[in-house]
Each structure stands twice: as C-alpha cells, then as structure tokens.
Structure 1
Amino acid sequence: MTEYGYFLSCEEFAPADLIEQARMAEQAGFQLLWISDHYHPWNDAQGQSPFVWSVLGALSEAVSLPVETAVTCPTVRIHPAVVAQAAATSAVMTGGRFRLGVGTGEALNEHILGDAWPPTNVRLEMLEEAILVMRRLFSGEEVSHYGTHYKVENARLYTVPDQPVAIDISGFGPAATSLAARVGDGYITMTPDESMVSQFRKGGGGAKPVSGGTKVCYGTDRDEAVRAVRRLWSNQLLPGEMGQVLPSPKHFEQLEPLITEDMVRENTVCGDDVDEHVAALTAFVDAGFDCVYVNQIGPDQRGFFDFYRTKVLPRLKR
C-alpha cells in the first residue's frame, strides 16, 4: 500500500508556517510528513532556515502524523553523537513516529564552521561511520568509539525510545544507493527511477521502505506558478554536482539565469491540471516506491491543500 506525505520546506517557511502546514496536511488526508534540515536556504528569495530540531518538537504536539528529516547530514556541521541525541528525543516526543533520514549533505550547509568539504567517496565513508555511532548510542549503552573520522568517549543517551530510531539513507547515484541497501533501514531518492529502486532492493534493501519526493506549484495561473518556481527553486534544475559543492546562497543566485521558464515548464508540475499532479506522484508508485511526498512551492498553501484534499489524493493509487 502506497502512502502519501507532505514535504515541509524549512528553506522557504518560518516555524509557525511549517506547523500550520503540517496541520493542514493532516486535515487534507496526507499520511506522513517530511521536513528538510538546512542551515541556509538555497537562495535569499526562499528566505528562511529554522533549526529543524526545534520545529520537530512543536510538530510532535501539533499533529499525529509520522515525521522524518529529509535529510539530515550527521557528518560535518553536527557531530553524529549530537544528532543521535536529537533524533532519540524526537522519537520519544512523537511516540516512536520519527524516522531519521540522512545523507552526505551539501557544502551550502556543512562548511559553515570552516571545515574542509570532502569529496564524495570520503563523505560516504563519514556517513557510514556516523550511522554506526548513532546506532550504538540508540541502544542506551555507554559508547566509546575511536574511528577514522569520529571519536566518542563515555557517551550515553539516557532519553531513548523503546525501539531504536530507523535510519533511512538518501542516494542519487549508485554508490550512495549501494550504501543505503547495505546499512540503511530504508532508501530515499528524489526521482522516480525504477533502476535505482531495483539496485537498492537487489543490493540488500529487500522489502525495506523506499521513499521519494517531488515539488509542485499549484495555482490557477500556470504562468505565474512557473515564475514562482523559477524565482524560488531554480536550484533544483541545476545539473551535476553543483548542488553539493557550491558554498553559499549567492552562488546559486548567480546561476539562476541558466534556468529558463521553459525548463521549469518541462520539469515541474505547475498549475491546476489534476491529471498532471496525479501523474507526477503516480510515477513514483509505478517505479516501486512505498512512500511519496509532495511539496507546494510558494505562498498558496491553503489552496494547494484544498486542491489535493478534494481532487488529487482521492485519485491516487494506494
């Protein structure tokens, strides 16, 4: 059975707005929540970036939906021992309804303390070791660890959930997907690519959950929606590794002229055509995803939730 969730964007909305969106998502019939974890937005037009762990505390009181970070980087900006404490507390506060989504991160968020930004292969090594550290801490036992990238001495989490926090791993290429299959409790990716799902399942992921997400811009004026996407989220259409290596929002702003309105129209669902919205989410279902999340770009959040409650969610495969 496919489940559908709403993707809360910390880059674009203030904490109170995110909490209200979560309430509207639950009322509209969404079954799950994702929430991004950033230090910076991708550009100044997005304009926000609250501390996700504070927002998660508020979400635990505001809604009853399961929630997951999509995704946290537990390797550079925050030591995995600290992420483990934050995740364990979130799991306790939500009554076990929290999953920790992790990935290798972006320089945009992770270089802020002046640390070097490692190449991809090193970041994957760091992520695997960080997961090992966090899983040991989730046991509630005292942990000392002397590894290649991290040191932990006499650390113990006293506030832990009844069951260890599930850790899902984000991957957009074969190496990260292989890591997710080998050590993850689930797999996260952002394109409905059946070959990646197959690699995960055959590589050791088996029946573990596969989750994916997409961004749309609902609105009655398609051209206005296209302009909103280009202004706020042109970064999602940049090719290659730029999203991982550029260090500042201003660098993404400098690349915005490369993204045309035609590119947005071809790659992002904009407007109020029900069939287009349904097809975007169904593509993930057809590719073998268990959970599909959608994010509304721009300010018309109430219109989006009314549209999905009445016209889109009732038509989706479950």
Structure 2
Amino acid sequence: MTRFGYTLMTEQAGPKDLVRYAVSAEEVGFDFEVCSDHYFPWLSAQGHAPYAWSVLGAVAHATERVELMTYVTCPTIRYHPAIVAQKAATLQILADGRFTLGLGSGENLNEHVVGARWPTVVRRHEMLREAIQIIRELHTGELVDWKGEHFEVDSARIWDLPDVPVPIAAAVSGGRSIDQFAPLADHLIAVEPNKDLVDKWHDARRATGLPGDVRVIGQIPICWDPDRDAAIERAHDQFRWFAGGWAVNSDLPTTAGFDGATQFVRPEDTAESIPCGPDLDAIVESVRTYWEAGFTDIALVQVGGDSQDEFFSKAAAPLLDKLRSAAH
C-alpha cells in the first residue's frame, strides 16, 4: 500500500512552527514526515533555514507514530560522515526506531558555507559512497580507523547505539548513481516519477543478491489554497526554483543565484509544474504519476509557511482520503 508523507520544509518555516506542523501532520493522518537539511533557503522569499537535526530531535519527542526521515542530508562537506553517523544514531534512539537516514550528494547552496571547493558530480558521488561506508562501519559500534580517498576517521566509536539499526536511503538520479548506491543503501530516494529508474534500482539490488523490493521514496510540491490565483502567486514567489531541474539546482551557490536563474519563470509556468488551488482531484492526479512509477512512499510539500495551518484544518484529511482511495 502506498504511504503518504508530509514535508517539514525548513526553508519556509522556523523551528517552533516546524515542530507544531509535525504534530498536526501526525494528528491528521500522514504516515511519515521528511525534513529538509539546508543552510540556506532556495529563495530569499522563503525566509528560513533552521538546523534540521535540532528540529528532528524535538519532533521525535513531540510525535509518537509517524516515521521520520532526512530528505536529504549531505554527509560529505558541511558534515563529516563520522558526525552524521553519531547524530543519526542519537536521533534513532530519540525516535524509538522511527528514523531513516536519507542521504544525497548535496547542493552547492548549502555546502559552500564551509569554504570548500564544490566538486564535480562524479566526485560528489564518490564522496557519498565512501561516506555511506564509514557510517555503516560506525553503526556497528566498533572502533573505526579509516583512511580513504576523501575522508579520514581516527579511532572513532559510536557509544550510544539504537536497538533498531538506522536504515539508509540514498538519492539517485541515473544509472551511474544506481550502480554505486543500490548495493550500499536500504532504500531509494528519487525526485522524479521515473519508472525506468525505479526498475533499474530493483534490478541492481537483485543482481547483488539483496532484496529487490524496498521502499522508493519521492516528494512532490503542491500549493493548496481556497483561491487558485493566490496559490499560483505563492508558488511562483517561493517555489519557482523548482523549474530549474537538478542539474541547475545542485550547482548554484546562493539565493541571489536562484533568483537570477528564475527571473523569467512566469506564474503560469509554475502552475504547470505544481498543482495549485483548491482542486484536490487535480492534486491526486499529479501525485498519481509517482505510485504508477513504483514509488511506495510519497511526501507532499505544501508550499508556503503561512499556509500550513489552513491546509491541515481544511484540506489535509480529505486529500489523504482521496489519495489512499485512488492508490489502493
């Protein structure tokens, strides 16, 4: 059965509001919650970027049922993989086994802040592969010494290990990243409803003797509002960066860069890629492409920090009913 999640979008809300939204999402019936891990918002209009791991620690205590996940953390530049291993283990304890560590190769927007050179995509994937290996080693609880091509670990050990091991989900975008991460990760993260990508992931895992049918986790922005014009205006103001595609979005270093790159994106262009307005059936049809492509878990992003309370009170429950009925 397809599961539907809610996105704690750190780029568009402050930490206390995010915790409050997490509780509301659980109460209204979402199955899981994913949290972005950014140092910058995509656009200045979004206006926020609290530390995701502090937010998730608070959410773990404020909720009881929903599964939690980073979507996604880059464990290679802004964070050393040994630190990611420690905080993932701690969060799994706080969440009583409800946490999944979602990992990706990152965006220049968030990683440039530590003054490191932004690598090519091939090098970023190599770094992510090594980081996952280090995290796996540390999650055994053994003392780890590591000297690899990109990272060193000197006599490190995770002292507080959860009873439930931390599953790892890896974000992939094509055949090369599938070959690298399918044997290492437990689950797949992808940002487009690409059935060929999903099938190749399953095939790659089976070829190595691993279980083929694992979670496939996607995400889709929506902009529900009683007023369609208001929804389109808000989506354009805060989410027009979404039209750039990952090849662009991963390389731009600043919000000013995203603003410049999207200056010619029109409101009607945004409305073509993001379902906007009060029509729940239109949202369902947009989400449908994901479960038809083989996604097991689909997280919704409700665009606009100030729109969340009205979304929960008026739209979330009936939308979930429609989604589950259509996906059944």
Q: Shorter-chain-normalised TM-score: which range?
A: over 0.9
Please list, as runs of the form range in 1=range in 2, the aligned pairs for 1:1-318 lying within 5 A after superposition. 1-64=1-64, 65-204=66-205, 206-239=212-245, 241-298=247-304, 299-316=306-323, 317-318=327-328
CA–CA distance in structure 2, aligned partners of residues 44 and 309 of structure 1 = 27
Contact 1:168 1:180 in 2 (8 A): no
Shift, 1:116, TM fit: 0.7
Moved more, 64-73 or 179-188: 179-188
TM-score, normalised on structure 1?
A: 0.97
Shift, 1:261, TM fit: 1.2
CA–CA distance in structure 2, aligned partners of residues 287 and 107 of structure 1 = 29
Q: Identify the residue that residue 209 of structure 2 maps to in structure 1.
A: none
Shift, 1:99, TM fit: 0.5
CA–CA distance in structure 2, aligned partners of residues 66 and 240 of structure 1 = 26
Percent of aligned pairs with the same residue?
37
Shift, 1:306, TM fit: 3.1
Contact 1:10 1:18 in 2 (8 A): yes
Contact 1:34 1:70 in 2 (8 A): yes
Shift, 1:175, TM fit: 2.0
Shift, 1:310, TM fit: 3.7
Q: Residue deviations 1:261-299, cap 9 Å, x none? A: 121111100001111111122221111111111010112
Q: Residue deviations 1:27-72, cap 9 Å, x none? A: 1110100000001111211111111111111001111211000000
Counterpart of 1:175, as a letter, is R
CA–CA distance in structure 2, aligned partners of residues 262 and 221 of structure 1 = 15
Counterpart of 1:312, as a letter, is L
Contact 2:23 2:62 in 1 (8 A): yes
CA–CA distance in structure 2, aligned partners of residues 223 and 78 of structure 1 = 40
For structure 2, the 5+ residue unaligned runs are 207-211
Evaluate the alpha carbon distance shift between residue 309 and residue 11 of structure 1 in structure 2; reply closer, same or farther with a 3 A threshold.
closer
Q: Residue deviations 1:105-142, cap 9 Å, x none? A: 01111111111111011110100000000011011111
Count of residues paired in the alignment:
318
Q: CA RMSD in A?
A: 1.3
Counterpart of 1:218, as a letter, is W
CA–CA distance in structure 2, aligned partners of residues 309 and 129 of structure 1 = 40
Evaluate the alpha carbon distance shift between residue 153 and residue 10 of structure 1 in structure 2; reply closer, same or farther with a 3 A threshold.
same
Secondary structure class of the residue paired with 1:258: coil
Counterpart of 1:36, as a letter, is S
Shift, 1:176, TM fit: 2.1
CA–CA distance in structure 1, aligned partners of residues 173 and 264 of structure 2 = 22
Shift, 1:240, TM fit: 5.5
Evaluate the alpha carbon distance shift between residue 283 and residue 90 of structure 1 in structure 2; reply closer, same or farther with a 3 A threshold.
same
For structure 1, the 5+ residue unaligned runs are none
Counterpart of 2:322, as a letter, is R
CA–CA distance in structure 1, aligned partners of residues 234 and 181 of structure 2 = 34
Contact 1:135 1:164 in 2 (8 A): no
Moved more, 219-228 or 82-91: 219-228
Secondary structure class of the residue paired with 2:113: coil
Contact 2:145 2:153 in 1 (8 A): yes
CA–CA distance in structure 2, aligned partners of residues 188 and 150 of structure 1 = 24
Moved more, 150-159 or 305-314: 305-314
Secondary structure class of the residue paired with 2:114: coil
TM-score, normalised on structure 2?
A: 0.94
Moved more, 231-240 or 118-127: 231-240
Q: Which runs of 4+ in 1 moved over 4 A?
A: none
